[in-house]
Amino acid sequence: MASSAERQILLAPDAVARAAAPLAPDAQSRWMLRQPRALRRAFAEEVFGREDEERLQQAWMLRQPRDVRESFVEHVLMKQDPVPREEVWMLRQDDEVCESYVREVLLGG
């Protein structure tokens, strides 16, 4: 996702975003569009279209509640071939480990 139209869909009401999900180009985008509007809004504000989007996206995901992280693992990562085992492992760590990784590794202390 990168255009203003994509951003509008990301911020759209749940019914609109869910209707657009099957048309999304990849599993990650489809997963995001099926999430509640508040979660999609947080992603749009904190990550979407920013200069260092990939790193910010990792930090954002690691800071999500365990059930959100597990949903991402189940619906996105476990369907990849090969499965990105390190990402799965990291997202399944407890909140303190995830936050420490964000602070010490992704954001540099």
Segment 90-94 shows an average pLDDT of 98
| 69 shares its domain with 86 | yes
> What is the pTM assigned to this prediction?
0.91
Tell me, what's the pLDDT at 1? 42
Domain that holds residue 25: 1-49
pLDDT value, residue 94? 97
- Provide the pLDDT for residue 18: 97
The string of pLDDT tens digits covering residues 8-36 is 999 999 999 999 999 999 999 999 999 99
Whole-angstrom distance, CA of residue 30 vs CA of residue 79:
13
Domains identified in the chain, total number: 2
Phi, psi of 68 (to 5 degrees): -70, -45
Is the domain of 44 the same as that of 2?
Answer: yes
59 and 44 housed in the same domain: no
pLDDT(2) > 80: no
